[in-house]
Amino acid sequence: LAKTTQPISMDSYEGQEVNITCSHNNIATNDYITWYQQFPSQGPRFIIQGYKTKVTNEVASLFIPADRKSSTLSLPRVSLSDTAVYYCLVGDRGSGNTGKLIFGQGTTLQVKP
Amino acid sequence: NAGVMQNPRHLVRRRGQEARLRCSPMKGHSHVYWYRQLPEEGLKFMVYLQKENIIDESGMPKERFSAEFPKEGPSILRIQQVVRGDSAAYFCASSPAGTWDSPLHFGNGTRLTVT
């Protein structure tokens, strides 16, 4: 599974757009990019998954450039409740893969009033 | 439409005792994963099970730890002769299929404290 690198922490203010970038220089052709969110004392929660270009859902957008060596999770107009740890993961979506996720340290996002 | 249920939520054990952590996956999910999170650290994969089978236990310590997912009932993570270093949050996750297009649904964990 490709290794990922993301900032340890980020600060933002309510109402701002937050972009968290993840580097995955060794991403393989079959790898997908997935983001999870974890609040204190809770288990991680799936946010979004993508392979290339842009993916958007009701929670976030995921931007992936053509070379796929990085990706950016975009959270529009954050609120205090978006304060959490955000994990970027990459892995193979092909058959035979166990779906096992390897978590890094994540990015701790602190949203201030 | 209950999510992944873990119990107990908090568990205190003295050194040398046994800890049993239970996980009931979401309805329709036959794939279960266990993760451990030490204080101020990320989640570490321990074991992946399907009904009655251990598929991948590469993250599980060789001694004192075992896991099962019987045909009936919850998945159990068992830690024998606990030591202080076992104090952590243990998360269970489930999915309907063990592939990347099947996001994992996590429970809220069992916090084990060894005194």
Residues B66-101: tens digit of each pLDDT = 999 998 899 999 999 999 999 999 999 998 876 666
Q: Would an 8 Å CB–CB cutoff place A29 in contact with chain B?
A: no
Structure tokens at B45: 């994969």
Round to the nearest angstrom and report the end-to-end CA distance of chain A.
Answer: 38
Enumerate the residues of chain B whose CB falls inside 8 A of the CB of residue A55: none
Q: For tokens 């009931």, what's the residue?
A: B24
At A97 the pLDDT is 56
Residues B2-51: tens digit of each pLDDT = 699 999 999 999 999 999 999 999 998 989 999 999 887 888 999 999 98
Residues A33 and A22 sit within 8 Å (Cβ to Cβ): yes
Name the closest residue on chain B to residue A32, using Cα atoms. B100
Amino acid identity of B43? L
User: Of B23, B22, B15, which Cα lies nearest the Cα of B86?
Assistant: B15
Vertex A31 angle, CA A29 and A35, to 5°: 145
Q: Would an 8 Å CB–CB cutoff place A5 in contact with chain B?
A: no
Is the pLDDT assigned to residue B102 strictly greater than 60?
yes
Residues B19 and B75 sit within 8 Å (Cβ to Cβ): no
The tens place of each residue's pLDDT in chain A, 113 residues long, gives 558 999 999 999 999 999 999 999 988 888 889 999 999 889 999 999 999 999 999 999 999 999 999 999 999 999 999 999 999 988 765 545 566 777 888 999 999 99
Best residue in B24, B100, B113 to probe A by mutation, most A CBs within 10 Å?
B100
Enumerate the residues of chain A whose CB falls inside 8 A of the CB of residue B33: 99-101
At A95 the pLDDT is 45
